[in-house]
Amino acid sequence: MIPIYLNRMSMKDRFRGKDFLTLMDFSPIEIDYLLKVSSQLKLKRMMKEPHEYLLGRTIAMIFEKNSTRTRFSFQAGIAHLGAQSFYATPETMQLARGEPIKDTARILDRYCDALVIRTFGQEIVDEYAAYMKNPVINALTDLVHPCQGLADLLTIREHKGDFKGLKLAYIGDPWNVCHSLMVVSSLLGIDCYVALPKGWNPNQRIIKFAEEHAAVGNSSMIITDNLSEALSKADIVYANTFHSMGHKDIEARKVAFAPYQINDETIKLADEKCIFMHCLPGYRGEEMTNSVIEGPNSVVWDQGENRMHTEKAVLALTVA
Ligand code: CP
Ligand code: NVA
C-alpha cells in the first residue's frame, strides 16, 4: 500500500534523475511503484497503445559482457518509449586505450540522457554514476543484477499474487542474480532459501543486508547445503547457471553443484503449484533438466518478457 502522502507526483519526483545501481537503494514502496508502472507499460504494449514518454531522448549502452535478453529488451523498450539507443563494447571505445572512466562518463553525459552499463565490478558502475548527472542503470555486475531482480518480482506477482509468506528456493551460482533475489526477497517479505554446496557462499555485504531486512519484515533468509530443506513446499523454485560469466573454474563448479540440480525428482519436493524460474541463459542437464524448463511449472518465458516491461519502467521514471 502506498501511503496517502506519497501521491503519484511525489513518487515520480523520487525517481527522476536517480541511478538504478542496486535494489538495495530502493524502499519496498518504491519497488512496488516500479512494478505498478511496469504493469501499466506492459498493458499499453499489449493494447498497442503508443507510450513514447522519452521521445527524442538518447540512451548510451556499454556492454563489457555478452547479453541476449538485457541488450535486446533494453533496445526494444527504448524504441517503444520513442528514444534511441547507442550500443558499444569497451573494446570499440577509447576505454580500450586507457581513457579513464571519469572522462568517458562526463562526455557521454553531454550526449545522452542515461547510461545502461553491463560490466564486472560494482565499483565501475559506481564511478560512472559519480561522474554523470544523468541516470546510470546497472545491466549486471558481478555483485548484482537489479534489472533481473525487478523482472523476477513482476513475474512472481503475476503468477502468485502478493509476496508476503511465499517461499523461494534458489540453486545456482551465489553471484549477481542470487544476490538480487536475496535483496528483493528480504525487502518484500519472501522467505528465501539459498541451497549451496558446503564452502560456497553469497557475498558478505549482501548476506548482511538481506538478513537485516528479512528480520525487519519477519521473513526467513536461510543459506543451507540441504537441497531438500530449501525445496520443501517452495512456491518458487529458481535455478541459475553454476558458472557465471567471468568464472574460470567451470568444471570444478559443475562437479560441486551437480547434486543441486532441479529435475523431475527434486521439483516434487516443492509445492505442486510452484513456479519454476530461471534468469537464462540456462544449461539443460546442469542446473535443471529439459523436462523442468519445458514443463508445466516453468514461467521462464514470461520472466524473460518481463525484463523489457520493467526496464521500460526504470527508464520512463528515471530519465529526466
Ligand atoms: N538474464 C540475462 O541477463 O540474460 P542476458 O545475459 O542474455 O542479458
Ligand atoms: N549469473 C549469471 C547471470 C547471467 C544473466 C552470470 O553472471 O553469468
Separation between Cα atoms, residue 183 and residue 25, nearest integer Å: 10
Q: Give the closest ligand to the alpha carbon of residue 279.
A: 1
Confidence of residue 1 (pLDDT cuts 50, 70, 90): very low
Using alpha carbons, select from 175, 173, 114, 172 the residue that is nearest to residue 140.
175
Domain ranges for the chain: 4-144+307-318, 147-303
**Residue 3 pLDDT greater than 70, yes or no:** no
Using alpha carbons, select from 80, 38, 78 the residue that is nearest to residue 58.
78
- Among the atoms of ligand 2, which is closest to the Cα of residue 279? 5
CA of residue 9 to ligand 1 center, whole Å:
33
3-class secondary-structure state, position 44: helix
Q: Would you state the pLDDT for residue 32? A: 97
Q: Would you state the pLDDT for residue 155? A: 99
Residues 6+ apart with CB under 8 A from 284: 290, 293
* Segment 270-294 mean pLDDT: 98
Q: How many helices (H) and strands (E) does the chain have?
A: 12, 9
User: Which strands form 167-171's sheet, in the order they lie side by side?
Assistant: 221-224, 191-195, 167-171, 236-239, 275-278
Q: Would you state the pLDDT for residue 7? A: 53
pLDDT digits (tens, 9 = 90+) for 200-230: 999 999 999 999 999 999 999 999 999 999 9
Alpha helices for the chain (secondary structure H): 8-15, 28-46, 69-80, 101-111, 122-131, 146-160, 176-188, 204-217, 227-231, 250-257, 290-293, 300-318
Burial class (CB in 10 A: 0-12, 13-18, 19+), 249: exposed
Q: Would you state the pLDDT for residue 270? A: 98
Output the pTM of the full model. Answer: 0.96
* Segment 67-85 mean pLDDT: 98
pLDDT digits (tens, 9 = 90+) for 161-182: 999 999 999 999 999 999 999 9
Q: What is the share, in percent, of the chain residues with pLDDT greater than 70?
A: 97
- Among the atoms of ligand 2, which is closest to the Cα of residue 243? 8
CATH code for the domain defined by 147-303: 3.40.50.1370
CA of residue 144 to ligand 1 center, whole Å:
12
Confidence of residue 98 (pLDDT cuts 50, 70, 90): very high
Separation between Cα atoms, residue 176 and residue 73, nearest integer Å: 19
Helix (H) or strand (E) holding 87: strand 84-88
One-letter identity of residue 148: Q
CA of residue 305 to ligand 1 center, whole Å:
11
pLDDT digits (tens, 9 = 90+) for 231-255: 999 999 999 999 999 999 999 999 9
**Residue 132 pLDDT greater than 60, yes or no:** yes
Alpha-carbon dihedral 187, 261, 298, 290, rounded to 10 degrees: 150
Separation between Cα atoms, residue 170 and residue 289, nearest integer Å: 15
Q: Do domains 4-144+307-318 and 147-303 have the same CATH topology?
A: yes
Q: Which CATH architecture has domain 4-144+307-318?
A: 3-Layer(aba) Sandwich (3.40)
Q: Would you state the pLDDT for residue 10? A: 82
3-class secondary-structure state, position 118: strand
Confidence of residue 12 (pLDDT cuts 50, 70, 90): confident
Separation between Cα atoms, residue 177 and residue 108, nearest integer Å: 28
